[in-house]
Amino acid sequence: MQKRTISRSQYDTHKPKELRRLYEPLGVLHELTMKGTTKPRSIFSTSAQGISIMQRRRNFVDAIAFLGAYGKGCEIAVAVERQPDGLIVRVAGTGDIDGTVVPFVNSLLGMLSATMKLGKDEIKGDNKERILLCLSDFALDFAQEKVFSHYMKLLHHIAPVCLADMTAGLNEARRDSLDFMTWFQENFYKNGAPLPREHMKLLAKECFKARQSRLINHLREFTYQGHEHVTYFEKFYKQLRKLSLTIDMTSQLLESTIFLRQDFTNDLAAESIPSSPSLPIPLLPRKLTIEGIANRMFSDPSKRDDFPQKLQQTAPPKLIQTLAQYSQEVHTEVHPELLVINYFDTLSDGGFIDERDRYIGCTKPSCYLCHLFILYHPAGYSMISSSSKICLNWRLPDISVKEYNAMARAENQKSILRQLINTIRIQLEEKVNNEWILQTHRTESETEWTLPIDDGTLNYSPQPPSPESTPSYPITSTELRIPELDISPDETSSVDKDPDQDAEDVILFKGRCRF
């Protein structure tokens, strides 16, 4: 789907030097995090206490967001808007939103509305099972490509390793291993060949049944610490669950709808929120030097001297060349959850179905910058689960001078940007310091190791602390703090002009309006 284009005259641009103060350290932090051996952990999990009406509404939009994402490259965010004449399910995201996602969601909402016209006694027992089957079949038809991609990944990259291990240990395995492998061969192949796409609906149902019967729980016996392929078995279990997750989310949608019957007094309809244009990342190759990045990060001369030295020792090879490559190849866009926030920020009337819980359902956990944006936003949007992933294709929402309350929103965004810059700077500084300390300890350990003495013992220095013992990036939500802002100017105050001082270069970056 081709990105929509917007006239530049509707927008102003951020100051290039202000944007570089975010994206330069962000690019370095991205590379240092990618170099790490541990994956980022989830830093926040949202779940209202108990099965309240608030939680049911969250479950509803979460289910719509999952079911509406039809395949790779499609990520959506969903919120329910209350208008004077009814409710609107707002959908934003990547992929074909208007042509594919919105029609599917409207059909799904139509089926749910028809169900809610039945009496309460008619949505019980076998009738309820038939309704769920009908909804699941419709959702699985729509999710065929997504289920097929999960199937192929499992079949070609995960299952061969796990099945080989299970086969090798059959002489000491329980009956469970034989039962599982027999079930797998019967359902994941047809005449010895991989299944075609049209078999994905049946496969998803078989995986759902296997999960209910606890047949796949046997895989957990291979995830004990020390097993050679423990990560493969963990992925095997998760991937089997993904194959049937569409049925789980359809069930969650139906249960939430039944509980929220009062919200379906009038028929719901889905409408899209326009996506954002794709724009180059605001990095300039001629300004990408370690010393220049440090000069723009710190006003303290000692830190400007200390940081480059430590970064030189800990940075991955060709760091600056990689950042320069990003400046040519990476394009930014407004992520789905921020598109939804920006839409609700522009409303002069109306708002969320429940203004006490301004929650947005998302296909996937939010990236780290989206998490911080929501955290720093003054309107108090509900926090969304975050994967803590650093995405370089991220940018602030676009603001048009013609939109409602553009001036106030621009000021809010300016404040958020300052906090993002400061948080990323602190995270990068901590990351580099931790890496430098670990590297120094390893070097000292190697140099202090001595030859064996006559009694056959070894004399060596204490082992360096493990990476797990040092503060990891990103910090958890409980550790997250809003540091005091560094509002010092970007340029140094020395007599000699900083060679990295910004000229009148122009970077088109639609993010915040300046007035």
Which residue matches tokens 């560094």? 486
DSSP run (H or E) holding 247: helix 245-259
Could you give the CA distance from residue 373 to residue 420 in angstroms, rounded to a whole number?
8
Q: Write down the domain spans for the chain.
A: 16-45+280-433, 98-272
Angle made by CA atoms 405, 407, 412, in degrees to the nearest 5: 95
DSSP run (H or E) holding 400: none
Question: Which amino acid is located at 207 in the chain?
Answer: C
Q: Are 324 and 29 in contact (CB under 8 A)?
A: no
**164-190 as b/e: b if 16+ CB within 10 A:** ebbeeeeeebeeebeebbebbeebbee
Name the 3-class secondary structure at 237. Answer: helix
144 CB-side CA count, 13 A: 12
Which residue matches tokens 């040092």? 470
Structure tokens at 395: 């940018």
1 CB-side CA count, 13 A: 17
pLDDT tens digits for range 119-153? 888 999 999 999 999 999 999 999 999 999 999 99
The partner residues of 351 in beta bridges, in order of sequence, read 82
Provide the pLDDT for residue 448.
54
Provide the pLDDT for residue 446.
55
DSSP string, 4-51: P---GGG-----HHHHHHHHHHHHHHHHHHHHSSSPPPP-B----SSS
Q: Are 222 and 229 in contact (CB under 8 A)?
A: yes
Alpha carbon distances (Å) from 97 to 69, 328, 395: 9, 28, 20
Could you give the CA distance from residue 144 to residue 201 in angstroms, rounded to a whole number?
7
Angle made by CA atoms 361, 366, 369, in degrees to the nearest 5: 135
Mean pLDDT split into 10-residue runs, the chain, 515 residues: 42 71 95 60 44 91 96 93 91 95 97 92 93 97 96 94 81 69 94 94 96 87 75 92 96 95 85 93 93 93 93 91 95 96 89 93 94 95 89 92 86 93 95 90 59 41 36 39 40 43 45 44
69 CB-side CA count, 13 A: 25
Q: What are phi and psi of 273, to 5 degrees?
A: -110, 130
Could you give the CA distance from residue 297 to residue 299 in angstroms, rounded to a whole number?
7
Strands 269-272 and 86-93, how do they pair?
Answer: parallel
Q: Are 277 and 327 in contact (CB under 8 A)?
A: no
Provide the pLDDT for residue 463.
38
Alpha carbon distances (Å) from 337 to 93, 352, 386: 8, 14, 12
Tell me, rounded to whole angstroms, the distance of Cα 466 from its chain centroid: 27
Which residue matches tokens 């602030």? 396
Provide the pLDDT for residue 454.
44
Q: Whole-prediction pTM value?
A: 0.81
Could you give the CA distance from residue 247 to residue 496 in angstroms, rounded to a whole number?
66
